[in-house]
Structure 1
Amino acid sequence: MLSQKLHEALNAQINAEMWSAYLYLSMSMDAEAKGLKGIANWFYVQFREEQDHARILMNYLLSREGRVTLRPIEAVRTEWASPLEMFQDTLKHEKEVTEMINRLASIAAEDHDYASSNMLIWFVNEQVEEEEAAREKIAACEAVDGNKFGLYMLDKELASRTYAQAAQLISSND
């Protein structure tokens, strides 16, 4: 059984993941409105991944006899000056998410809740990847800064990103 503290923290994380999804959807729509369909695609895939992260946590909470409590999603920013600014905001946001995941892992460790600790390892590793991906995109945007052809090529590259659902983690309780 989950401690009340971990139960509440997991619910907070579920809602944070849904907010993250909303943020990335907003970035996707802003990029698409500016004709940057590849960058829009990259953020749309990110949107879907964040929804999956929430679902994984929901499934876990339900499997531990918890209750999922969804809250209203707060408004997100809707416009960015450039793809570079989008990816800088992405890195900043992912660092905040990393802190939240680390707090969850700390609570699970304090509770000696080894099942939750084990589940959260996937999220800890995922956050390393999320931050690295954002840093790579920042570097790419900085490399093409002011170069319209470079931005065109980067946009084409990001259009190739595909969505790979975390099916084995999501399928339980669906």
Structure 2
Amino acid sequence: MKDLARLRSSVKESVELALNQQIQMEMVSSSKYLAMAGWCDRNGLDHCAGFFYNQSEEERKHAMKLFHYLCDQGATAYSPEIPAVSQEFDTLRSVFEGALDQEIAVTDSINRIIGICRRESDYATEELLKWYVKEQMEEEYIARRCLELIDQIPSDQIYYLDKKLASVTYDGNPFE
């Protein structure tokens, strides 16, 4: 019985639950970004579509990072159910507003999980989540900057933002 106790997860139940909820949130984000990419594609905004296709894949990777972490810690990671997401948007601005809203929600969730980690003295998970905090700062910045540019660009010249998004990479910021 001693050996079995050694194999149990060091992740507290409350942290495990919160991380599984975060996995679902990341997968929902991925689905939402895929819908945004499809809308952009249908509306001739190729680079915006590419940006959102990349965002969708990035969110999936975020979910998988948490999934693997739970598995590596001996905890249980659950494959989440993903509800249907809206496929239609009124304007490119509404697409980016949705993206920003989603990123703010993810940031709030990450911050909530860090609070749980601190209450549970789960320093390993808190350390992992520091990466997500930095990532969320970048994600919110890019979405806000895109909205600022949309507001400054006449609607008949929206191609400027579309071209600018062609240069977005995960290692940098096209707006610097």
- TM-score, normalised relative to structure 1: 0.89
**2:163 counterpart (152, 156, 170):** 156
- Match runs of 1:1-174 below 5 Å: 1-146=10-155, 148=156, 150-162=157-169
Q: What is the distance in 2 between the residues matched to 1:44 and 1:129?
A: 17
How far off its partner does 1:78 sit?
0.5
- TM-score, normalised relative to structure 2: 0.88
Q: What is the distance in 2 between the residues matched to 1:97 and 1:161?
A: 20
Q: Which protein has greater RCO, CA pairs closer than 8 Å, 6+ apart? A: 1
The answer (yes or no) to whether the contact 1:41–1:161 under 8 Å persists in 2 is no
Q: What is the distance in 1 between the residues matched to 2:78 and 2:110?
A: 18
The answer (yes or no) to whether the contact 2:118–2:126 under 8 Å persists in 1 is yes
Q: Does the residue aligned with 1:159 lie in a helix, a strand or coil?
A: helix
The answer (yes or no) to whether the contact 1:61–1:68 under 8 Å persists in 2 is yes
The answer (yes or no) to whether the contact 2:146–2:161 under 8 Å persists in 1 is no
* % identical aligned pairs: 36
The answer (yes or no) to whether the contact 1:6–1:108 under 8 Å persists in 2 is yes
Q: Once superposed, what is the RMSD of the aligned Cα atoms?
A: 1.2
The answer (yes or no) to whether the contact 1:45–1:162 under 8 Å persists in 2 is no
Which deviates more, 154-163 or 91-100?
A: 154-163
Q: What is the distance in 2 between the residues matched to 1:25 and 1:106?
A: 30
Q: What is the distance in 1 between the residues matched to 2:153 and 2:42?
A: 20
Residue type of the partner of 1:65?
Answer: G
Q: Which runs of 5+ in 2 are unaligned?
A: 1-9, 172-176
Tell me the matched-pair count: 162
Residue type of the partner of 2:133?
Answer: V
